[in-house]
Amino acid sequence: MEPETSQFESSEMLATYLASTPLLEDSWRLCSRANADAPQSFLVHCAGKVGYLAFSGVQVVDCTEESCRKLVELEVYANGLFGGFCAAGDGDREPIMMHGGLLQLFMMFLNTQNFLSKIDELLLKGCKSIVCTGHSLGGALASLSALWLLSTMQTNSPSIQVLCITFGSPMLGNESFSQAILQERWCGNFCHVVGQHDIVPRMLFAPATPIMKELVILFHFWQLSMASPCLGQLASQLSYEDIVEVFRLVLTCAEKRCGETKDREGSVFWPFGGYLFCTDNGAVCLDNRVAIVKLLYLTMSKGSAASYIEDHLKYESYVGRVCLHYLRRRSLTDVSFSESSSEAGIAFALRSSGIEFQEAIYGTAKNCLAMARHIGCRRNINNAKMAVLLAKVNPLRAQIEWYKKFCDQSDDQMGYYDAFKHRNTRRGSKVNMNRVKLENFWDDVINQLETNQLTHDFHKLLKYVNAAHTYTLLVEPLDIAEYYRTCMHKSKGHYIEHGRKKRFKIFDKWWRDRKVGDEERNPRSRFASLTQDSCFWARVEEARECVLHLTGERDSGRQSVLLDKIVKFEQYAQGMIARKEVSVDVFAKNSSYSVFKEEWEELKSQLQLLPPRFPVSQESTVQDMCIETENTYVVRFS
């Protein structure tokens, strides 16, 4: 029999967390206040260590230009606003794209409002978490604000937790955008609350241009109703025929998307993060993108043309019912299912999502939730399998560690890096095989992470953070050695910019984001067992090439650039040595670093003897080398 799990189908941890804390109710209360009191703006609230940014749903999106109604490339239009997030996409896929009008609204908002000062106020008050929340278009602003905070605070204030809770918010970006959120492990930072029939979270399934006039009227009505219900009643209404036409178009496009497991048409919108589907019976929460798309269609298909307008204004009722019903145990005496806890959970979840056993769509919805649950359980199973696989590859790492120790004590005095680079023994070949096997293992880890097959906190588990870091420090020098051994730098360029694998960059980020203990901040009393910059030898190779090029360089401008690079490397290396962050193999007599030092000293002595190329004053006869500003070596003839 299947082991007992939660009786609800969902991203269970997130849904339970929201239901058992005041976050959901507090977020909606602040959104409602922002709608009434802060049109086209936001409210700030501090509750203990939690700071809230609540964005009004009363916003104006300029859709007069075609680009504002479609997806635009984020990296181009945002001008680096989201830092390295734009680079998180896979080069084989479509660029990360976002709704042009919503992106423009956020950028205007960021530049004109006192946004930054309010965030600083929250931090000064001691807030350890920031919750971005918003209703309707305010939800889109909340999502973009949370994304911006995540992109910037991961380096500036990594201890600050960011959560986004939206109500009836439209989708934002394409599949690459959704995938990039997934790769950054930020899905758990976003929870989108969706009404059973609310059209706004579903409207971007359909092309905007054919129904632009109707959408403008609808948003005018909704926003007047948010500000004051009596004003909404006075607002101009669409004809019933227009309402039905909008409903049918969105529903038809949503149904079409249900048959697509991936972005086959290019620039179409995809959900991201977790979705909390609310009905009068309760709620169900999902984080699987395909399942979300299907449930967005199935729940909307039960509604009427009138209900999709009303539902956008019913979130106060939905939130109250979610907090009341989500943890309530109910009997399903009218439903026939086996003793499997999985089927019981699905039955409860379907009832919570407003889909009854007798309805025609019940089977489709059941399969949708079963798939989502299977994926959730599979992540935990994959985590367990990964632990077993890690234990199996640890002996490969141990053999490489033994090889390093052997090289460090060898009579050839080349050290670990150079011994592998110039290897000609069976021992070196065996180590190379182990290197490739470890590469395959860690690439599989990255692939499973990027395809959402591992748990959301996998990258924070110390077992894997430490294992990945040790692997990087131990094995990346071998990758660098192989890169220069096979002369890849001559065809591709130097390793750091043109040859470094994505896995090492990801593992560097894991290590930076970990919680650092006090013992790690203490200075070292002895040299490290592994050089703490895994790219140290790549920097050595670049510095050696600079020395080589400088030897025959005659252009003074180019000469100055090369000298600057060499000096900066020399200072970097001296700093590493002073902090004892290098391994003893760096000092081996015949290591590349020792050879660099000899070549550099010889070049400096040669530079003293070069004939002058500029007019020499009668008072001065001495040639010398000096260091000017920015630590740049300049050859000066005086």
Mind listing the pLDDT tens digit for each residue in 66-125? 666 788 888 888 877 887 676 655 455 688 899 999 998 998 888 876 888 888 888 888
Rounded CA separation 97/81 (Å):
14
Rounded CA separation 118/577 (Å):
43
Question: What mean pLDDT do residues 563-581 have?
Answer: 95
Residue 396 has pLDDT above 90, yes or no: yes
How wide is the angle at C-alpha 424 spanned by C-alphas 418 and 426, nearest 5°?
115
| Max avg pLDDT among 275-289, 304-318, 440-454, 562-576 | 562-576
Residue 10 has pLDDT above 70, yes or no: no
Summary count for the chain: helices (H), strands (E): 25, 11
Helix (H, G, I), strand (E, B) or coil at 259: coil
CA gyration radius, the chain: 30
Name the phi and psi angles at 134, rounded to 5: -175, 155
Rounded CA separation 199/12 (Å):
25
What is the enclosing helix (H) or strand (E) of 144? helix 137-156
Catalytic residue among 26, 27, 197, 198: 198
What is the enclosing helix (H) or strand (E) of 274? strand 274-279
Question: What mean pLDDT do residues 615-635 have?
Answer: 37
Residue 130 has pLDDT above 80, yes or no: yes
In this prediction, what percent of the chain has a pLDDT beyond 70?
77
Higher pLDDT, residue 118 or 436: 436
Residue 578 structure tokens: 């002073």
Catalytic residue among 45, 135, 312, 459: 312
Of 65, 70, 72, the residue nearest 86 (C-alpha): 72
Residue 34 has pLDDT above 70, yes or no: yes
Q: For residue 213, what pLDDT is reported?
A: 84
Under the banding of pLDDT at 50, 70 and 90, the label for residue 38 is confident
What is the enclosing helix (H) or strand (E) of 166? strand 161-167
Which residue type, as a one-letter code, is found at position 136?
S
Note the helical H segments in 199-304.
Answer: 212-227, 229-234, 240-258, 289-301
CB 62, CB 36: distance < 8 Å: no
Under the banding of pLDDT at 50, 70 and 90, the label for residue 379 is confident
624 as an active site residue: the answer is no
What is the per-residue DSSP string for 500-531? --HHHHHHHHHHHHSPPPHHHHSPPSS--SS-
Q: For residue 119, what pLDDT is reported?
A: 86
Q: For residue 634, what pLDDT is reported?
A: 38
Q: For residue 44, what pLDDT is reported?
A: 92
Of 180, 163, 15, the residue nearest 83 (C-alpha): 180
Under the banding of pLDDT at 50, 70 and 90, the label for residue 540 is very high
Residue 619 has pLDDT above 60, yes or no: no
CB 601, CB 568: distance < 8 Å: no
- Which tens digits make up the pLDDT trace of 328-361? 544 444 444 444 445 545 555 555 555 555 455 5
Question: What mean pLDDT do residues 216-235 have?
Answer: 74
Rounded CA separation 119/149 (Å):
10
CB 133, CB 55: distance < 8 Å: yes
Rounded CA separation 308/166 (Å):
18
Residue 584 has pLDDT above 50, yes or no: yes
Rounded CA separation 601/571 (Å):
14
Q: For residue 151, what pLDDT is reported?
A: 87
Catalytic residue among 56, 136, 178, 534: 136
Domain ranges in the chain? 12-326, 380-610
C-alpha distance across the termini of the chain, in Å: 89
CB 235, CB 225: distance < 8 Å: yes
99 as an active site residue: the answer is no
Q: Which fold has domain 12-326?
A: Rossmann fold (3.40.50)
- Which tens digits make up the pLDDT trace of 273-305? 989 888 877 777 788 888 888 889 888 887 788
CA 359 to chain centre: 39
Rounded CA separation 390/457 (Å):
17
Residue 630 has pLDDT above 60, yes or no: no
Rounded CA separation 287/376 (Å):
9
Higher pLDDT, residue 247 or 360: 247
What is the per-residue DSSP string for 362-391? HHHHHHHHHHHHHHHHHHHHHHHHHHHHHH
Residue bearing tokens 């989708």:
171
Of 394, 439, 442, 405, the residue nearest 530 (C-alpha): 405
How wide is the angle at C-alpha 410 spanned by C-alphas 405 and 414, nearest 5°?
95
Question: What mean pLDDT do residues 321-334 have?
Answer: 57
Residue bearing tokens 């009786």:
7
Q: For residue 513, what pLDDT is reported?
A: 78
Under the banding of pLDDT at 50, 70 and 90, the label for residue 523 is confident
Q: For residue 492, what pLDDT is reported?
A: 94
26 as an active site residue: the answer is no
Higher pLDDT, residue 136 or 39: 136
As a three-state string, the secondary structure of 388-434 is: HHHHHHHHHHHHHHHHHHHHHCCCCCCHHHHHHHCCCCHHHHHHHHH
Under the banding of pLDDT at 50, 70 and 90, the label for residue 362 is low
- Which tens digits make up the pLDDT trace of 364-377? 655 666 666 555 56
What residues contact 107, with CB distance under 8 A and at least 6 apart? 78, 81
Under the banding of pLDDT at 50, 70 and 90, the label for residue 519 is low
Q: For residue 605, what pLDDT is reported?
A: 84
Q: For residue 6, what pLDDT is reported?
A: 40
What residues contact 616, with CB distance under 8 A and at least 6 apart? 637, 638
Q: For residue 459, what pLDDT is reported?
A: 86
Q: For residue 256, what pLDDT is reported?
A: 87
- Which tens digits make up the pLDDT trace of 41-53? 899 999 888 999 9
Under the banding of pLDDT at 50, 70 and 90, the label for residue 133 is very high
What is the per-residue DSSP string for 543-572? HHHHHHHHHH---HHHHHHHHHHHHHHHHH
Q: What torsion, rounded to 10 degrees, do the Cα atoms 485, 487, 493, 498 define?
A: -50
| Strand partners of residue 624 | 636
Average pLDDT of the residues of the chain: 81
